Amino acid sequence: MNNKYRSGFVAIIGRPNVGKSTLMNEVIGQKVAIMSDKPQTTRNKIHGVYTTEQAQIVFLDTPGIHKPQSKLGDYMLKVSESTFREVDAILLLVDVEAGIGGGDRFIIERLKGIDTPVILVLNKIDLVHPEALLPVIVAYKDLYPFAEIVPISAKNGNNVTTLLEQTVRYLPEGPQYYPADQVTDHPEQFVIAELIREKILHLTREEIPHSIAVVIEDMKAEPNGVVHVSAVIYVERDSQKGIVIGKQGALLKEVGRLARADIEALLGSKTFLELWVKVKKDWRNQDRMLKDFGFRLE
């Protein structure tokens, strides 16, 4: 029996909306990546840390790989592809209910020529009959020499333990990079901004989601223990500002109510959340604005 500790970095990749953030949060046991039914929700490499007595896996939940339509889209694609050679293993997450699509083939083509082991993760098995899995597995095996193929339901947690056990096999022997109780390496302000953005994605229509950036302007603890958070929600057009604020401020108030509950759970403190909405026209195509909003464009 090999008792040596294993640790390493594992990228979760896949086309938009296949459940990458859901898997991350299921593995970690709490929310570190925002979830939405709208594609391309994740914009940065979200680091989630899974630790046991035998191993530590540092997960990178990358943006969904897609054909870019803006400078922000270019950035998101580069973020995803840059991880391929930086990690010890890759989890390619696919939606078994949707079947193989052009987006999956697009990603697999980009995996060819790298030495990093790729584990194919067939997600959403709760939505298909077990007999439907075999032809999907055969079709994917014809496209790429996957190191492992593991069917799961990230939403229900089915077979996720098996996936983790298989993943650890591909990690090198190494140190525990993070303390056992740490679940992410992102600062609290980053996570809080993402929680606010998640609520806006949940409450607004298709026009809004990708036009939004959230910046924490100020965060401080008062003497009474209440944490004061001031955040600015940036949109690209005046019409979008009106939508985010809502009639008589109703939608913005609901964003604040929902986000505050998650922020208080994250911080373990009562929170006063102040939200502002500002317009920065076409910010997704301006290098300076992207950098100001925390997107590293190197």
Residue pointed to by tokens 């699509």: 101
Task: Tell me whether residue 176 is in a domain.
Answer: no
Task: Tell me whether residue 178 is in a domain.
Answer: no
Identify whether residues 25 and 118 lie together within a single domain: yes
Identify whether residues 260 and 199 lie together within a single domain: yes
Task: Tell me whether residue 182 is in a domain.
Answer: no
**Structural domain total, the chain:** 2
Identify whether residues 86 and 155 lie together within a single domain: yes
pLDDT tens-digit map of 94-142: 999 988 988 899 889 888 878 899 999 999 999 999 898 999 999 999 9
For residue 5, give both structure tokens.
């500790």
37 is in which domain, residue-wise?
A: 6-168
Task: Tell me whether residue 297 is in a domain.
Answer: no
Task: Tell me whether residue 270 is in a domain.
Answer: yes
* Mean pLDDT in residue range 166-181: 90
Higher pLDDT among residues 45 and 191, named by residue: 191
Identify whether residues 232 and 281 lie together within a single domain: yes
CA distance 62 to 66: 12
Identify whether residues 243 and 211 lie together within a single domain: yes
Tell me which residue of 6, 126, 5, 18 sits closest to 65, measured CA to CA.
Answer: 18
Q: Is the confidence at residue 159, as pLDDT, over 90?
A: yes
**Contact between residue 115 and residue 88 where contact means Cβ atoms under 8 Å apart:** no
Task: Tell me whether residue 271 is in a domain.
Answer: yes
CA angle at residue 281 from 276 to 286, to 5 degrees?
Answer: 115
CA distance 209 to 105: 26
Q: Is the confidence at residue 191, as pLDDT, over 90?
A: no
Q: Can you give the pTM of this predicted structure? A: 0.62
Instruction: Supply the CATH number for residue 232's domain.
Output: 3.30.300.20
Q: Is the confidence at residue 14, as pLDDT, over 80?
A: yes
pLDDT on residue 99: 85
pLDDT tens-digit map of 31-74: 555 444 444 444 445 578 899 999 999 887 665 555 555 665 66
CA angle at residue 130 from 126 to 136, to 5 degrees?
Answer: 95
Identify whether residues 19 and 101 lie together within a single domain: yes
Higher pLDDT among residues 21 and 88, named by residue: 88
Instruction: Supply the CATH number for residue 112's domain.
Output: 3.40.50.300
141-155, 158-172, 202-216, 217-231: segment of lowest average pLDDT: 202-216
The residues, any chain, with a CB within 8 Å of residue 36's CB and separated by 6 or more, are 198, 201, 202, 209
Choose the final residue of a domain: 119, 135, 168. 168
Identify whether residues 48 and 20 lie together within a single domain: yes
CA distance 133 to 112: 24
pLDDT on residue 42: 42
Identify whether residues 161 and 216 lie together within a single domain: no
Sequential DSSP letters for 155-197? TTTBTHHHHHHHHHTTSPB----S-TT--B-S-HHHHHHHHHH
Task: Tell me whether residue 96 is in a domain.
Answer: yes
CA angle at residue 153 from 83 to 87, to 5 degrees?
Answer: 15
Identify whether residues 157 and 33 lie together within a single domain: yes
pLDDT on residue 160: 94
Task: Tell me whether residue 180 is in a domain.
Answer: no
pLDDT tens-digit map of 78-91: 665 666 777 899 99
Distances (CA, A) of 96 to 40, 101, 128, 140, 150: 19, 10, 8, 11, 11
pLDDT tens-digit map of 264-297: 887 778 999 999 999 888 777 766 766 666 665 4
Mean per-residue pLDDT of the chain:
81
The residues, any chain, with a CB within 8 Å of residue 42's CB and separated by 6 or more, are 20, 21, 33, 34, 61, 62, 63, 64
CA distance 228 to 214: 16
Tell me which residue of 97, 95, 11, 18 sits closest to 58, measured CA to CA.
Answer: 11
pLDDT on residue 162: 96
Identify whether residues 100 and 216 lie together within a single domain: no
Identify whether residues 109 and 194 lie together within a single domain: no
Identify whether residues 259 and 221 lie together within a single domain: yes
